[in-house]
Amino acid sequence: MNRAALLLTVLALSVPSGARAAAPTYLVEWNARTGESRQRLTLFCDGVLVRKTTADGKTEMKKRKLAPAEYDSYAAFFRSPEALAAEGIFDSGMTGEAVARSVITVTRENGEIWKLAFDSFSAVTPEAQRVRAALEDLRDSFGRAHAATADFTPEKLAPGKILRRLDGTSFRVVHYDERSGIVELRGLDEPYSQFYKLENLRLSFLPP
C-alpha cells in the first residue's frame, strides 16, 4: 500500500486532523485492521475503556472503568507535547492481507484532534513508539491487577529513584512530602513535574 492509499485508510477511519468538536467524548481511539479482522480501542473522557474485536465473523467487547488517577496519567501523556510530536503517517510500503494497519486518533482539550497512522512493518519515531506502547498497555490491561499499596512506601521512593508509568514513560522521584502525602515526580524525557498522592501511585506506575 503506497502513501496515498494509506492516507485514504486514515480518512476512512477517522475525521480530518485539526477538526474541532464541541466537546470531545473520547481521549484516544486506536483502530487496527488485519485483513478482515478489526479491533477498536477507545478511552472515553469519562474514564471508560472499551475494546471491540471482530474476527472470523464474531465480535467480542470488553469494558472497564479506569480509576481517576490512572485516567489522569494517560490524559497527561496523550495531550503532552511529546505525544503530539508522534503525529504523522508512517508507511512501510508493504502490501498483503497479513499487514496490520493502524490509525490512532487523539483529542485535545479544545476539541482538535491529531492522528498517527502506521502498519506492522513501519519504522516509526521514538515518540510514535511511546504512543503505541501506551495503547498496547491499555489494550492488554483487561483483567490485570494493579500493584499493591505496599509496593509504594516512602522508603522505596528516595529522591533519584526511577519509576515507570504504565504508558512506558519514566520519571525520577524529586521529593516526598510526609505531611501532605504528595510525591513529586519529574519526567526524564520531558523535564516537568507531576504530583501524585502516595496511595494513588499504584494506579499509574509499576512497582519500584
For the stretch 47-89, pLDDT in tens is 999 999 998 889 999 999 988 878 888 898 899 888 899 999 9
Measured in whole angstroms, the distance separating CA 17 from the mean position of its chain's CA atoms is 18
b/e code 9-18 from CB counts within 10 Å (16+ = b): bbeebbeeee
Residue 178 lies in a domain: yes
The confidence band for 22, taking pLDDT boundaries of 50, 70 and 90, is low
11-15, 25-29, 100-104 — which is least confidently predicted?
A: 11-15
What are the contacts of 126-129 at 24+ separation with CB within 8 A? 127/82, 127/83, 127/85, 127/86, 128/86, 128/88, 128/90
Distance CA 34, CA 53 (A): 11
Domain end marker among 139, 163, 191: 139
Residue 94: which CATH number?
3.30.1560
> In terms of domains, do 59 and 153 share one?
no
For 80-107, write each residue's pLDDT tens digit: 888 899 999 998 888 888 889 999 999 9
Q: Is residue 144 part of a domain?
A: no
* Average pLDDT value for the chain: 85
Q: Are residues 108 and 8 in the same domain?
A: yes
The domain of 196 spans 149-204
Are residues 108 and 168 both part of a single domain?
A: no
